[in-house]
Structure 1
């Protein structure tokens, strides 16, 4: 019976190809929009996960101020409070399974050469930070502990900052000033991954890094913006996190006035934000799917009217209400399913076009998207096919046979 109903449904749909296609159009557009939006969202989430993991999953950051679960992170609040000290960094380095640790300071001031001024981000750190945040030198060399202990005026910068100040040519050894202090460029780097933060991964773009000791000398301050730490392995990350927490609470007189964020936390936070955005955008895209469902319902209502006599004949020879209901419901579901499959194909083509046009977004087709499309296909058919199906099933056979 079920197979026969599907055959009849396909025959009836094929008999009115143009009308059926126009009816499917809303579903096609709706499903393709949903596929593209969900794929972009999944791709962004996957991209965050891959780039954060590119740094290594065994790193974490300790920020001043306690950030409660669910509380929105405010970077300015971490700049205004100073609960972390250099002694904390030294203590963290001594914790079991800690491989490296470095203080991080944000330094204010413009960067100048003889003829150029730049507002590049200025960061101060210990030499270990250059390894923790996965910097890859493309020119020159990074500063080491000899420069750090001497509070030398040396720096490394990324390609964007270098290009702003010195152009395309080789710049190793070139001079620039920060706060009227002359610095020498030691090397140029690129970042292998991204630096994690409470708001998710933070791109290192247009950045200059100087020794933390030098920053103290030229600013007269030692405020730590955060501490970056690296465990000796991913397996020991939780042990290190607990060790840091216990140690710092003791050093801070029993106060937990800091927050520890691992790369997994970064992925969870960024993924949660992207999930919400994906749901909102997908919900908007689904409006056209609802319109497509209404189109299916309207066409099926017209079909019920046109086939009134057929319904009467089928009932007269023994078809039950359930048989008629199932027949028209299956027809609505077939229209919806075919439309959804065409929409899925269109969405896949849209993904291909987006991938070709930009490298900033890399859509990702997950099983969740595929299951969602299948669910939408049958869901739209059932929801919007019920009314016409009930109307057909409840036709009076005598009146239906009289229909002209």
Structure 2
């Protein structure tokens, strides 16, 4: 990456809007230096835009001072990472002509190295207590497993995910829809400052630039492309978090969703996502099993071990043959268990020693504790 190329890309970061595929095609076909020079020095419009649009871009270009932007960024501890740099995350190239001209990065770690083992956790800004809890728990558990948690620095789920990772002493990246030198939202100034100290703050807009609705949407494609998969924790039907998950699917990444109450409007978008190609997850183990390397498996899920589970099969059959209420003779129990009377009697004495049955005259009955165990084992409780 030459200085001229870097300055040209800084210029284009101020002139072109994030995700501008027409501009991205110009850069691919003519090179960043030629495109920037054409915009600054003038000339006929490049293919794909009207004269009016071209003049608007030229008006922006006339005000750009790339050297000043780089100087201002350096004073704020921000560096500009371009395609071709050693720190550039190659997975962003999957965006094709929508790839950023470069990324402004605040923080000490290598963006490329951190992105190799990263997961996005995104969701509703106005999330519920449940959503905040799940996002923070996922953030902490992923960080504890050595994964980088990527989100958008917003209120709600994003902030909870970042805080969970930070609280666990782990790594987290905030991808902003504005200049990385001006934290947004303002209420998260302290959080984003802490992320910059302990992790990374990233954005494609130059220092001082402000967010707009379209820039938030385009920011989401960076989150999706940067990570191995996207987890959505609470999202309504029109949530921007769903845009991130769908972008992940288009890019060949994993999309995952944390389910919520069927009656919650904030979970409706997640459930719709789960009806398609997304995968249901409930904890970090399930996330890592999906996006991680071979052998990173979630623990086996099973219910609690009941006392009756420890009995051998023959004793369990005799126990199951006893009535739920009242007593039964050994002969009746033997027929129910499909065994002989002598075997049934032997098993019954064994079960009595273990506290499962009681003898009443010529009959046998379940103890109170055994009744609970048997009913739980059959799913009737």
Whether the TM-score (by the shorter chain) exceeds 0.5 is no
Higher CA-based Rg: 1
TM-score (ref. length: structure 1): 0.23
TM-score (ref. length: structure 2): 0.24
